[in-house]
Amino acid sequence: MVNIIGTLCVYAAICKHENKSLKFPRTKAAQISYQIGSDANLIAEQEIWAVVDPNAKNVAFNCSNEDLFKWMHLWTALAKQFDVEFVDFDDESEVEGMSLVEMMKDKGPVWEQIVREHGLEPTK
């Protein structure tokens, strides 16, 4: 399981370092639709229970506390936190399905420089 927020913070830090705007890497529809998030502690407790309780053996579970959010609100908060400009969609120039993986694939050296400059623990 991956916590996407840490990844998005790395993206925002790279945007700040490169003096670039923060761009949402999907579609306008995805940006404005409601999403469901779950508390990491709740998920951890559920995963521990599923491992130790014999009644959970070979059974699939969904776990959610049904927190609703919109990506546009999260991205606005990220931009504010990292002091970078958030660029909203321009319907005429929107790229369908733009990928954060593609946007970040050559940013390894930039992240390494940020780690050095801020005395962070180097990690992949």
Q: For residues 96 and 15, which has the higher predicted lDDT (pLDDT)?
A: 15
Dihedral of the CA atoms 96, 4, 36, 84 (nearest 10)?
-70
Cβ atoms of residues 120 and 114 within 8 Å? yes
Domain boundaries, the chain: 4-118
Long-range contacts of 2-10 (CB under 8 A, 24+ apart): 3/40, 7/100, 8/74, 8/78, 9/78, 9/82, 10/111
Task: Report pLDDT digits (tens) over 10-63.
Answer: 999 999 999 999 988 877 888 888 888 888 888 889 999 999 999 999 988 888
CB 12 within 8 A of CB 84: yes
Q: What is the pTM of this model?
A: 0.75
